[in-house]
Amino acid sequence: MSMQDYHSRLSDPASRKFETFSYLPAMTKDEIRKQVEYLVKKGLNPAIEHTEPQYLMDSYWYMWKLPMFGETDVDRVLAECEACRQANPDNHVRLIGYDNFSQSQGASMVIYRGKTV
C-alpha cells in the first residue's frame, strides 16, 4: 500500500485541506441522518453553526438560532440544518451535540461544505 500525495498548497486556495477529516468526501443525506440519530440517541442537545470557508479553522463560528435543547425529532433537526444551509449557501455548516452533564461538546461534525475560496 502506498501513500497518496494530496495536492494541497497554501498558494492555491482551491486545493487547501485542513486536518484529517477534510480529506473525506462530503457526507450523504443518509450519513447525515445517521449522525443526527446518534446525537439524539446519546441524549445530546443539537446545535447548528456556520462560517465562511476562509474562516473554517477559526474557533468562532456563527450560531444558527439557539441550541435545540431536548429536541429528539431527527426530522426537525435535519430541517433546521437544511434551513441554515439554504440561508448561507456558501458557508460550511456544522452540527454540534452538547452534553448537559459534562457541560461540553459531546460531538461535532461538518455536515455541509461551502464553496472553496
Taking the CA atoms of 17, 21, 23 and 27 in sequence, report the sign of the dihedral they define: negative
Q: Which set of grid coordinates corresponds to residue 8?
A: 494541497
When pLDDT is averaged across residues 66-93 and rounded to a whole number, the result is 95
More confident residue, 36 or 4: 36
Instruction: For residue 105, give the amino acid letter.
Output: Q
CA atoms of 51 and 25, how far apart (whole Å): 19
Would you place residue 103 in the very low, low, confident or very high pLDDT band (cuts 50, 70, 90)?
A: confident
Span 42-77, pLDDT tens digits:
999 999 999 998 887 788 999 999 999 999 999 999
What secondary structure, in 3-state letters, does the chain show?
Answer: CCCCCCCCCCCCHHHCCCCHHHHCCCCCHHHHHHHHHHHHHCCCEEEEEEECHHHCCCCCCEEECCCCCCCCCHHHHHHHHHHHHHHCCCCEEEEEEEECCCCEEEEEEEEECCCCC
pLDDT at residue 81, as a whole number: 95
> What's the predicted TM-score (pTM) here?
0.78
